[in-house]
Structure 1
Amino acid sequence: MIAESATKMFELSNGSKLLYNKNLGDVFAIDVSVNFGSAFEEQNNAGAAHFIEHMFFSGTKRLSRRQIASKIDSVGGTINAFTSRESIHYYVKVRSKHYGLAISTLFECFNNCEFFPKELELERKIILNEIKDIHDNPIRHTLSEFVKLCLPGRFGRPILGNKESVSSFSRRDLLSIFKRTHFPRNTIIAVTGPENASKYIKKIEECVASNTQRKPLKLGRCKAKPIRKEKIIEREIEQAHLCIGFPAITSASSNYAAFSLIEAILGGGLSSRIIYEVRERRGLSYMTQPFLEAEPMHGYFTVYLATNPNKVEKAKQVVLREFEKLRKQSVSTKELRRAKQYIIGTKALEWEDSLEIAKDAIFAERSGWSWQEYFKAIKEIDAKALGKVARETIPSDEFCFVLLKPK
Structure 2
Amino acid sequence: MPEVRSVSFGAWLTRGSRHESAARSGIAHFVEHMLFKGTARRTAEDIAQEIDSLGGQLDAFTAKECASYYVKVLDDHLPRAVDVLADLLVNPAFDPGDIEREKKVVLEEIKMVEDTPDDLVYELFTQRFWSGHPLGRPILGVPETVNDLDAATLRDYFGRAYTGGNLVIAAAGHVDHAAVRDLVTSAFGDLPSNVEEITNTAPASMPGLLIRDKPLEQCHVCLGVSGYPQSHVDRYICYVLNIVLGGTMSSRLFQNIREKRGLAYAVSSGFVSYRDGGALTIYAGCDADSVVEVVDLIVAELQQLRDAPITSAELVRAKDHLKGSLVLSLESTSSRMSHLARQEMYYGRQFTLDETLQAVEQVTVDDVHRVAKELLVPGTVAATVLGPVDGLALSEQQLALT
Aligned equivalents of 2:50, 2:360: Cα separation in 1: 42
Q: How does 1:304-319 map to 2 (within 5 A)?
A: 304-319=283-298
The Cα shift of 1:217 comes to: 4.5
Q: Who is 1:379 aligned against?
A: 361
Most deviating of 209-218 and 99-108: 209-218
Q: TM-score, normalised by structure 2?
A: 0.92
| Contact 2:90–2:191, Cα closer than 8 Å, also in 1 | no
The SS at the match of 2:281 is strand
Provide the rounded CA distance (Å) in 1 between the counterparts of 2:24 and 2:358: 41
Within the candidate set 213, 217, 220, 1:238 is matched to 217
Report if the CA contact (8 A) 1:85-1:159 is conserved: yes
What's 1:185 paired with? Answer: 165
In structure 1, the residue matched to 2:99 is 120
- 1:95 correspondence with 2:77: no
The superposition leaves residues 107-134 of structure 1 with CA deviations (integer Å, 9 ceiling, x where unpaired) of: 0111101111222122111110111122
Structure 1 residue corresponding to 2:140, chosen from 156, 160, 165 = 160
Structure-to-structure mapping, 1:280-359, within 5 angstroms: 280-359=259-338
CA offsets 1:37-59 (integer angstroms, 9 cap, x no match): 11001110000010011111211
Which of the numbers 43, 49, 62 marks the counterpart of 1:83? 62
Q: SS at 1:325's partner residue? A: helix
Give the superposed CA RMSD: 1.6
| C-alpha distance in structure 1 between counterparts of 2:376 and 2:218, whole Å | 28
Which structure 2 residues correspond to residues 5-404 of structure 1 after superposition, within 5 A?
22-152=1-131, 153-209=133-189, 214-215=194-195, 217-225=197-205, 227-368=206-347, 370-372=350-352, 373-404=355-386
C-alpha separation between the residues in 1 aligned to 2:106 and 2:284?
A: 27
Q: Separation in 1 of the partners of 2:71 and 2:135? A: 28
Contact 2:163 2:193 in 1 (8 A): no
Number of residues of Structure 1 aligned to a counterpart in Structure 2: 385
Q: Which moved more, 1:205-214 or 1:249-258?
A: 205-214
In 2, the alpha carbon distance for the partners of 1:394 and 1:217 equals 35
Q: 1:384 and 1:299 mapped to 2: Cα distance?
A: 22
Which letter maps to 2:360?
A: I
Structure 1: runs of 5+ lacking an equivalent? 1-21
Q: Distance in 1 between matches of 2:164 and 2:193?
A: 10
* Cα drift, residue 305 of structure 1: 0.9
Whole-Å separation in 2 of the counterparts to 1:198 and 1:219:
35
C-alpha contact (below 8 Å) 1:186/1:217 kept by paired residues: no
Give per-residue Cα distances to partners, 1:274-325, cap 9 Å, x unaligned. 1111111111112112111213233222111110011111111111111111
- The amino acid that maps onto 2:373 is R
Question: Given residue 398 of structure 1, which amino acid in structure 2 is its aligned partner?
Answer: T
AA matched with 2:229:
T
Aligned partner of 2:226: which letter? P
Q: Is 319-328 or 39-48 further displaced after alignment?
A: 319-328
Quick one: distance in 1 between partners of 2:8 and 2:197? 26
How far does residue 260 in structure 1 lie from its aligned partner after superposition? Answer: 0.9
Q: Distance in 1 between matches of 2:350 and 2:91?
A: 33
CA distance in structure 2 between the partners assigned to 1:325 and 1:174 by the alignment: 50
Amino acid at match of 1:160: L
In structure 2, stretches of 5+ residues that fail to align are 391-402
Q: Output the CA distance in 2 between the equivalents of 1:71 and 1:161.
A: 31
The answer to whether the 8 Å contact 2:230/2:278 transfers is yes
The separation in 2 between residues aligned to 1:60 and 1:212, in whole angstroms, is 18
**Do the aligned partners of 1:35 and 1:216 also contact (CA within 8 Å) in 2?**
no
% identical equivalent positions: 27
What is the rounded CA distance, in whole Å, between the counterparts of 1:103 and 1:216 in structure 2? 26
Return the alpha-carbon distance in structure 2 between the equivalents of residues 71 and 219 of structure 1.
40
Query: Hey, what's the Cα distance between the residues in 2 that align with 1:41 and 1:167?
Result: 16
